[in-house]
């Protein structure tokens, strides 16, 4: 283990984060506020409560997951793609830095960024709604697992992408629709019977359900299933990253 190498990669990525504070921090806060105005005020005026929870509070976990997932993917994907794009990836591959240490540095920084944004959005939400967290330890656990797993996914996308268009392809066309259809702004129980069964095929449903349970004690699927789903997703991403470094697949532009 080379902690200096991990720290160097981590500091470099976090430095890029703080150099773009407006884009990295302020923009998610503004977009979250707009979601509260549109969904909380407009839709919340018609849907007062969902399973005994005010609609404004009910959408908070979904909003946090929406930002955490997208930010984790985009930060990790961009972080590893740029060394490929400008050719500095070869310096990392030739340095005395193991694959584990490189992944730990890049994914750790991306997960940290996503976690910070998630906590800021949580703080912003308290300005709009009265929010209580019934299971704070589990809330942090779900949040951390989501940050790490989707940062790993972004790392894989960054290695797979050959250009900037491909870098945005999966997040925009696959991940974002799955998040919106995964119960971010509604409960799966509100859907007609057949659509509930279809919705359960969406893996994001399990992540959002478990995270919402940590706030209100309400879940669309059993909490154990949600934990197993996110743990399994994290494991799959780890195996894919291991295979990439073992074979050298697309580690050059």
- Of 178-182, 188-192, 244-248, least confident by mean pLDDT is 244-248
Contact criterion met (CB below 8 Å) for 114 and 72: yes
Cβ-based neighbours of 116, under 8 Å, separated by 6 or more = 25
Query: Mean pLDDT throughout 48-63?
Result: 84
Quick one: pLDDT at residue 102? Answer: 85
Indicate whether 253 pLDDT > 60.
no
What pLDDT, in 10s, does the model give residues 60-99? 899 899 889 988 998 999 988 888 888 777 777 777 778 7
H or E stretch including 132?
A: none
Whether residue 118 contacts residue 144, with contact meaning beta carbons closer than 8 Å, is answered with no
pLDDT at position 210? 92
pLDDT averaged over every residue in the chain: 85
Model pTM score: 0.89
Phi, psi (deg, nearest 5) at residue 54 = -60, 145
Top pLDDT among 40 and 107 is at 107
Structure confidence at residue 252 (pLDDT) = 57
What's the half-sphere exposure (Cβ side, CA atoms, 13 Å) at 83?
Answer: 20
Give pLDDT tens digits for 92-110.
777 777 878 888 999 999 9
Mean pLDDT of 2-22: 82
Question: Taking a C-beta distance cutoff of 8 angstroms, is the pair 115, 144 a contact?
Answer: yes
Cβ neighbours around 55 below 10 Å, total: 20
| Beta strand extents in 51-141 (DSSP E only) | 53-54
* Cβ contact 252:167 at 8 Å: no
Query: Is the separation of the CB atoms in 112 and 72 below 8 Å?
Result: no
Q: What is the pLDDT of residue 45?
A: 61
Would the pLDDT of 154 be above 60? yes
- C-alpha span between 210 and 206 (Å, rounded): 6
Quick one: average pLDDT of 117-134?
87
Q: Report whether pLDDT(173) > 70.
A: yes
pLDDT band at 37 (very low <50, low <70, confident <90, very high): confident
Mean pLDDT to the nearest integer, 198-213? 90
Contacts of residue 70, defined as CB under 8 A and 6 or more positions apart, other chains included, come to: 171, 175, 176, 179
Strands 53-54, 49-50: pairing kind: antiparallel
pLDDT at 48 exceeding the cut of 80? no
């Amino acid at each position: 283990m080379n902690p200096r190498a991990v720290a160097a990669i981590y500091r470099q990525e976090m430095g890029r984060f703080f150099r773009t504070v407006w884009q990295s921090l302020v923009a998610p806060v503004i977009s979250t506020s707009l979601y509260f105005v549109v969904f909380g005020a407009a839709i919340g005026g018609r849907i007062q409560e969902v399973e005994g929870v005010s609609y404004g509070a009910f959408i908070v976990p979904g909003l946090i997951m929406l930002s955490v997932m997208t930010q984790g993917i985009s930060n990790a994907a961009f972080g590893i793609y740029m060394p490929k794009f400008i050719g500095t990836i070869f310096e990392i591959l030739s340095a005395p830095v193991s694959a584990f240490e490189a992944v730990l540095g890049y994914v750790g920084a991306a997960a940290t960024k996503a976690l910070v944004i998630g906590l800021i959005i949580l703080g912003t939400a308290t300005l709009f709604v009265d929010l209580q967290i019934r299971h704070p330890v589990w809330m942090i656990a779900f949040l951390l697992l989501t940050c790490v797993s989707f940062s790993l996914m972004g790392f894989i996308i960054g290695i797979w992408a050959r250009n900037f268009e491909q870098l945005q392809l999966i997040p925009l066309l696959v991940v974002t629709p799955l998040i919106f259809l995964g119960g971010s702004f509604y409960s799966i129980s509100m859907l007609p019977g057949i659509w509930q069964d279809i919705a359960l095929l969406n893996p994001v449903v399990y992540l959002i359900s478990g995270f919402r349970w940590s706030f209100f004690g309400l879940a669309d699927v059993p909490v154990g299933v949600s934990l197993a789903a996110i743990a399994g997703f994290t494991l799959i991403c780890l195996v894919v990253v291991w295979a990439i470094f073992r074979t050298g697949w697309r580690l050059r532009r």
